[in-house]
Structure 1
Amino acid sequence: MWHKQINASISVCDKNGVILELNDKAIEMFKKYGGADLIGKNLIDCHPEPSKTKVKSMLLEQTENCYTTEKNGIKKMVVQKPFYQNGEYAGFVEMVFEIPFDMPHFVRK
């Protein structure tokens, strides 16, 4: 599949927060927390407060979340969005990828 080796971390959980899939980059990113062994575990249990409360709320209300982070001189974009199967809420997809510090921003008309 295309997402297996893309240069972005992709994690998928069901609507209860159970981790269904991690691509290669996600397995590497979460290596110190168990990597591939996280599949089948609940992601709520993987987060400290206040993130835990935020994740619970997102799962319940099907709200998306986007933000940037910086750690060790690397800036990343985090995008978390609900996904649907046959029109029914099925869970969340998270994508995390590096972005440049001086990334251009274009306003289109």
Structure 2
Amino acid sequence: MQTDINAAYFKSIIDQDRCSVVICNLKHEIIYMNPTAVKSYEKWGGESLVGRSLLNCHNEESQKRIQQVIDWFAADESHNLIYTSHNVKQNKDVYMVALRDAEEKLIGYYEKHEFRNAETMEKYDLW
């Protein structure tokens, strides 16, 4: 597997995602938010959340659950994705996803939102 792909490609993939993506290190510090996440969390600080603890954005019960998931990710290299919630109002599912280095060591995690709404864009609508 090729591992020397330019980081700009990965950043572009995350930045183009229409769903919020919030990336954290193992200290729960937000290290990156894609533009959609910055906009989605604007009333809580938006881009100023980068560098802060994700745990500060959650109640005590959620903080425990987040740590429980991180412990689960760390327990086995095959533990990489967990469904955490469904937002009925926005019709979206929320997941936590493990981030691993080339040796499969856990280095962080991200929160991924996926909407369930059917696409309204026309296929191949270039004009």
Name the TM-score, length of structure 2 as normaliser.
0.70
SS in 2 for 1:65: strand
Give distance in 2, aligned partners of 1:2 and 1:82.
Answer: 17
After superposition, give the CA deviation of every residue in 1:29-58 in whole Å (9 maximum; x if it has no partner).
Answer: 111111111111111111013211111222
Higher fraction of strand: 1
Aligned to 2:53: 42
Give distance in 2, aligned partners of 1:47 and 1:89.
Answer: 22
Aligned to 1:68: 86
Q: Answer with 34-43 or 60-69: which moved more.
A: 60-69
SS in 1 for 2:14: coil
Question: Partner letter of residue 55 of structure 2?
Answer: I
After superposition, give the CA deviation of every residue in 1:6-49 in whole Å (9 maximum; x if it has no partner).
Answer: 21111110011111110011111111111111111111111013
Which consecutive aligned stretches of 4+ in structure 1 deviate over 2 angstroms post-superposition?
Answer: none
Q: How many residues align?
A: 99
SS in 1 for 2:56: helix
- Mind listing any 5+ residue stretches in structure 1 that lack a counterpart? 102-109
- Mind listing any 5+ residue stretches in structure 2 that lack a counterpart? 1-11, 74-78, 119-127
Larger Rg: 2
Give distance in 2, aligned partners of 1:58 and 1:79.
Answer: 11
Question: Partner letter of residue 11 of structure 1?
Answer: V
Q: What percentage of residue pairs aligned between the two structures are identical? A: 21
Give distance in 1, aligned partners of 2:53 and 2:60.
Answer: 15
Question: Partner letter of residue 88 of structure 2?
Answer: E
Give the root-mean-square deviation of aligned CA atoms: 1.7
Residue 56 (str. 1) matches residue 67 (str. 2): yes
Of structures 1 and 2, the one scoring higher in RCO (CA 8 A, sep 6+) is 1
* Cα distance, 1:79 vs structure 2: 1.4
Give distance in 2, aligned partners of 1:2 and 1:65.
Answer: 21
Aligned to 2:124: none
Higher fraction of helix: 2
